[in-house]
Structure 1
Amino acid sequence: MTLKSIHIEDTDLQIEVKEVRKVSKIRYALKKLIYVPDADLKPKIITKILTHIRNIIENKVKEREEKDHEIGIFIAYKGKFIKGMVIAEDNPHYSSRNRRAASFGWLYAKDYEVCKELMEACESFARKRGKKLLRGPINFPKSVGGYGLQVEGFDEQLIYGVAFNDPKTAPSLKEFLEDLNYKQDSEYLSMEVTQDRWKSGTQLDKDIKIRYLTFEELNNRKDEILDILRGAFYSVLPDAFGMERYKEIMDLLRNIPSHYYKLPKKIKLENDSVQTEFVEAWKKCYDREVITFFHLAFDKNTDNLVGIITCLPDLYELWKDNPITRVNVDVAAVRKGYGRKGIFSSLNNIGQLTGNMLGITYYEGTSIWNLNEDAIRTILPHGRINRRFYVFQKRIKNPT
């Protein structure tokens, strides 16, 4: 269906924005337009995007809440030529500061008029869905596309779960969105961890224990995990992804060969520089198939989960038939009331030591909200900022 047409003054051709549901046309547009810093990864990334789209269009996901999940793929044409695209989504798992919001992502437009028409299509989509806020770029699936418009760090190596943009067009997209009254609402940072041992993590409160869980145990505690992640560093997050994100992470981890989880048997765990709590946690990894990328802290008295760091292996390395040596430190959270107990720093320290045993040499903390003072104060002294992203927002009004 044609949403709108505008006349370009210097040509007889018009720009038409069409909503497209045919997967072959969407695939062609993605191949034509999407920028991926590593060209070898582009086909697989496109496949992941198309799988996400198919799951929504074809209603393959059967949970009740998915009935409210809708997507709009808008492609801008000038005659027979594709000039831009954007994907709007009303995702029941996505919220902003505890409020449902529509999102836009995978935005590509080289000129203002194309961007304007594409964003008007997104606004119409949000309005029809009864949403008052439109935010983006939010590039679903998040594990592939991440979120935010990249403004710094274009020379950094691509890492799984982090957004990427064409350095040639990103500045223009920022200007276009601002000219269309989209406000820069949230700033996110990524940070390369350069300090391998944090001093405050050498002393863990006596009432806290660290351990690793199996897939089954994690699934049994998924509500508890989601609850603690919603309040990461005691904040109401501007962009939160709920159960869908949890399932996405679990699927990712299940696709990692099992030897990446298993600690080497011949390694000496005890030495003078390693805390007793770490050694006890490691010893329990040998008799069970635990997930060593989820570092967890528990209250000894209640067995409640009180701290978590989730590390996502860089799946891009596997896609290129290379061993995994890099991880995205995707989420870090400490339950309210458990600050100043050495939990976060201890989880970081055991996380790096465990990863090193498994061949990990690079750690990048991602999606760090710049207004989250607790997170900034805790994390930034231990690394360098290497990427920066903006999420834009616009309040959607009904036509007058």
Structure 2
Amino acid sequence: MEISLEKPIQQEVSVTNTGDLSEIQRVLTELLYVPDDKLKLVVVLELLDYFKEKFSQKDYKINFFYTKQNGNITGFVVSQIDKEYRSYGMKCPTFGWLTSKDFLSCKLLMGECEDFVRKHKFRKIRGPINFPKISGGIGYQTEGFEAPMLNGVAFNEPSSKVLEYLQELGYKKDAKYSCVEVVESNWNKGNNLDDDIVLKFLHPHEIRELRSQILTLAQNSFYSVLADAPGGQSRFEEMMDSYDLVFGNRFVIKDNFDPRSISSIPEFIEAWESCDLNKIVPCCPLAYDRTNGELVGIIMALPNLFQLWSKEPLTHLNVDTVIINKEYAGRGIFSSLQNVGQITSRLHGFEYVEGTTIYANNDRAISTIFPHSTPLRTHYVVQKRILRK
């Protein structure tokens, strides 16, 4: 018997840029990590729907790159310039969903992303920003892998070395984000609200009608200082779609329900008595100035669609967005919205509340939220200045 001493030929790693959805599906099916295996197909299909929409927009700048070696897929990444994403108030290219089995694949993928940035005459790239946020999220996770899968919160394989690869390629950690479990449902500061503030709950279509007011409030409140703001009209529509899926006609509150049986706070009772509790979004309380009717605050928490897609009872909430008019800050509006929102959401069966993607440099948010919470997850966003070749 003859024994061959020849080593198998190691092929070079190749990079492909594709807009073919069947090809992308094959790559995602083989390599995308999803913490819950039974949700992988759902996430893949959500991504394919997103890519189909973006690829059909001729003026939308997006590329899907993947690498192969010896016939095996070794990595993939999405690079794009989203019209609504802002970093410190400025447009900025991003990369997302980066997955790589080895350093060389990561280097080649990020090289393509950097050329994408140069082509469109930008000088910086940030990521991972995994669009759409409803199934993706912001940052590379480094802690909290035991926490439940929550839509809108980024995930990656715990053993992945992608962050190390990125740092070796010159990417610097720029923004740190925390997710916390809100373990105290009642915050003392939220039980004494100014007389000129009124709280409300609305039906999904009523919230949708407030789109321009909510987006304006958000833009004036914090978009100019956030390191990563993936919000805007498309993000608002994502959130409203999740509300439409879950709320508006739940029939969980009995007709003889007495609000005074769960709270003695007049503003909370007023909010509950002014609406049909079975037809509102319980996790989206709003605050108005009673004198002029202006919207001055809102919490938009999201039901965990991963539970819905797994056909499990809906019990998890992601406190995704909190917006308070700057002129009304420090008056306990956030705490009041939190309190009334938690009570109302519990009536609808939600027992687990997680505050997500809290920016480390947002001192006001941290000082308000952290005393009532337990830290869970940590994510980092990295960035790199791109030099001309």
Aligned mates of 1:232, 1:10 — CA distance in 2: 60
- Tell me: CA distance 1:264–1:313, structure 2 relative to 1, closer, same or farther (3 Å): farther
Note closer, same or farther for the CA distance 1:273–1:292 as it changes in structure 2 (3 Å cut).
Answer: closer
State the alpha-carbon separation in 2 of the partners of residues 253 and 142 from structure 1: 15
Cα 1:234–1:95 change in 2 (3 A) is closer
Q: Aligned in 2, Cα 1:32/1:279: closer, same or farther, shift over 3 Å? A: same
The 3-state SS of whatever aligns with 1:197 is coil
- 1:238 and 2:227 are equivalent in the alignment: yes
Q: How does 1:120-139 map to 2 (within 5 A)?
A: 120-139=111-130
1:14 alignment counterpart: 12
Judge conservation of contact 1:139–1:147 (CA < 8 Å) in 2. Answer: yes
Q: Distance in 1 between matches of 2:72 and 2:337?
A: 52
- Deviations 1:348-383 (CA, angstroms, capped at 9, x unpaired): 000110011001100000010011000000110001
Deviates more, 1:363-372 or 1:249-258: 249-258
Equivalent position of 2:131 in the other structure: 140
d(CA) in 2 for partners of 1:264, 1:227: 37
The 3 A distance-change label for structure 1 pair 349 and 287 is: closer
Q: Report the alpha carbon displacement of residue 73 of structure 1 after superposing the two structures with TM.
A: 0.3
Per-residue CA deviation, residues 328-362 of structure 1 (Å, 9 max, x unaligned), is 01011211011222201100000110011001100
SS in 2 for 1:115: helix
TM-score w.r.t. length of structure 1? 0.91
Write out aligned runs for 1:1-400 (5 A).
11-59=9-57, 68-169=59-160, 172-230=161-219, 232=221, 236-241=225-230, 242-256=232-246, 258-260=248-250, 263-271=253-261, 273-286=263-276, 289-399=279-389
**Superimposed CA distance per residue, residues 95-143 of structure 1 (whole angstroms, 9 cap, x where no aligned partner):** 1111001111111112111100000111111221222221100111111
Contact 1:94 1:100 in 2 (8 A): yes
What runs of 5+ residues in structure 2 fail to find an aligned partner?
A: 1-6
CA–CA separation in structure 2 for the residues paired with 1:54 and 1:127:
25
Q: CA deviation at 1:232?
A: 5.0
Per-residue CA deviation, residues 292-329 of structure 1 (Å, 9 max, x unaligned), is 22111011111111111111001111111112111001
Deviation at 1:253, TM superposition (A): 1.3
Aligned residues: CA RMSD: 1.9
- Identity score, percent: 38
Residues 287/74 of structure 1: CA separation in 2 closer, same or farther (3 Å cut): closer
Mapped partners of 2:351, 2:270: distance in 1:
23
CA distance in 2, matches of 1:284, 1:174: 50
Aligned residue for 1:166, secondary structure, equals: coil
Alignment-mate amino acid for residue 44 of structure 1: V
Tell me, yes or no, if the aligned pair for 1:261 and 1:290 is still in contact at 8 Å: no
Find the aligned partners of 2:46 and 2:294 in 1 and give their Cα distance: 35
Cα gap change, 1:79/1:279 in structure 2, threshold over 3 Å: closer, same or farther? same
In the TM superposition, residue 251 of structure 1 has moved relative to its aligned partner by: 1.4
* Distance in structure 1 (CA, Å) of the matches to 2:8 and 2:153: 39
Contact 2:10 2:70 in 1 (8 A): no
SS in 1 for 2:53: helix
Q: Which runs of 5+ in 1 are unaligned?
A: 1-8, 60-66
Aligned amino acid, residue 65 of structure 2: F
- Alignment coverage as a number of residue pairs: 382
CA contact (8 A) 2:253 2:278 kept: no
Give CA deviations for 1:247-289 in whole Å, capped at 9, x if unaligned: 1111121122544486443332114743111111111222894
The alignment's TM-score, normalised by the length of structure 2, stands at 0.94
Alpha carbons 2:175, 2:359 under 8 Å: kept: yes
Aligned match of 1:64:
none
User: Per the alignment, in what secondary structure is the counterpart of residue 94 of structure 2?
Assistant: strand
Report the equivalent of 1:5: none
Partner of 2:3: none
